[in-house]
Amino acid sequence: MDDVFENNGKLYLSLFSSDAVTVLLEAMRHAVATRSDNIRTPHLFMGLLSFPDPGVIAWGQSLKADLNQLSIQFQELFHQDKTPEHTRLFLHREFLSDQVIELIRDARDRSCIHARKTITPMDLLISLLTDSDSVVIDCFQRIGITAAKLTEYAVLAECRFSGSEGSGMDIA
């Protein structure tokens, strides 16, 4: 496949591990819950936190972060009142921000480089953390945690759990 999208604009879900598909569905749920009209990188991050695989859990432990609390904080930060409450979103090009589309493409490239058949949640997380324009990274940098440190913890966590598919942190 040349791209992550089918000709009709839907994501090729077969490119993703079952855990990564769940993360994407959770991201979509968070976008609706925060009343967004599209799925953005904070929603993808919330999806990763809502359905953490062992690597994401280990990443959170390295940060000494409560992943559930972190997800709640992001939900509060990115809640919008301007969009109707019952917006319908789909895993379709039309409903993904340009940044999420690039992130998913980067995650696919990353999975190919590591000779994986599918995109994993860690591919999504590390791609998100290495995006220099990420609003998620901005939130962490405001509390003194650099993108380099976040990425280092994620890569170390991925290495610890490559064979398998704390304390409060305030990001506000």
**What local confidence, expressed as pLDDT, does residue 165 receive?**
41
- 32 φ/ψ angles, rounded to the nearest 5 degrees: -65, -45
Residue tagged 């000494």 (tokens)? 64
Domains of the chain listed by start with CATH number: 13-160 (1.10.1780.10)
pTM, two decimals, is 0.88
In this prediction, residues 29-43 reach a mean pLDDT of 92
**What local confidence, expressed as pLDDT, does residue 86 receive?**
62
In this prediction, residues 145-156 reach a mean pLDDT of 93
CB count within 10 Å of CB 10 equals 14
**What local confidence, expressed as pLDDT, does residue 170 receive?**
40
* pLDDT class of 172 with cuts at 50, 70, 90: very low
Pairwise pLDDT comparison (116 vs 163), residue with the higher score: 116
* Among candidate residues 24, 58, 16, 53, the one with its CA nearest the CA of residue 41: 24
- 77 φ/ψ angles, rounded to the nearest 5 degrees: -65, -35
Q: Which of 7-11, 33-37, 69-73, 163-167 has the lowest mean pLDDT?
A: 163-167
pLDDT at 169 exceeding the cut of 60? no
pLDDT digits (tens, 9 = 90+) for 37-81: 899 999 999 999 999 999 999 999 999 999 999 998 998 888 877
Supply the Cα-derived Rg of the chain in whole angstroms. 15
